[in-house]
Structure 1
């Protein structure tokens, strides 16, 4: 009986999609309250949107980006450059943040694969 239960549990675990951490680097944008996204060389990744219940686990790992190299565009809101270890839905959403590292703006400005925000 234990062997059967173990076999079923293992089969179910293998059937679930495997999530793997991805490193995504680019423009971290927070243009207005509750709206966050990351523009990297491949995509625009939604981190969260105002009024949505879509805040990913690990959002608290992103510090106040305005305390470092940052561009203010709208009151206390704006953008910075950074790298994140994340899990995504494979399409357009960041579903979990595992780590965050803010970089100098020059790093993103000098990356020709990145589209300048704004």
Structure 2
């Protein structure tokens, strides 16, 4: 583990690995860099998602705001903790991403893989999200 637009609402992470459409440009981010980040992927409500790893919380999507390009991880039932109905909640994931570290934002997702919940739970640097 070391490692506002009128567009339609994306499917929750638990149902689909499709991400919301991008509304921000990577070219506007001079501090962008490629990294692999692993931690708790949270999708608590429609259009909102972030990844919390050992370093910080990275914004992936904000309803009515910037949305990272690329696909969110897809979770099986045993990899997902539902907190807001069956489709919204959190899971453990590793993501190959381009980030703007200054803004704490994930700009693009190159690859995203759901991981067993036990991996994040075993990492003492990660606090499990509150249900």
Larger radius of gyration: 1
In the other structure, the counterpart of 1:104 is 116
Structure 1 stretches of at least 4 aligned residues deviating more than 3 Å after TM superposition:
16-20
In the other structure, the counterpart of 1:56 is 68
User: In 1, are the aligned partners of 2:31 and 2:101 still within 8 Å (CA)?
Assistant: no
Q: 1:84 aligns with which of 95, 101, 118?
A: 95
In the other structure, the counterpart of 1:115 is 127
Q: How much does 1:115 deviate?
A: 1.4
TM-score normalised by the chain length of structure 1: 0.77
In the other structure, the counterpart of 2:23 is none
Q: 1:93 aligns with which of 80, 105, 110?
A: 105
In the other structure, the counterpart of 2:82 is 72
More helix by share: 1
CA offsets, 1:54-93, max 9 Å, x none? 11111xx224435551000001200000000111111311
In the other structure, the counterpart of 1:7 is none
User: Unaligned regions of 5+ residues in structure 2, if any?
Assistant: 1-28
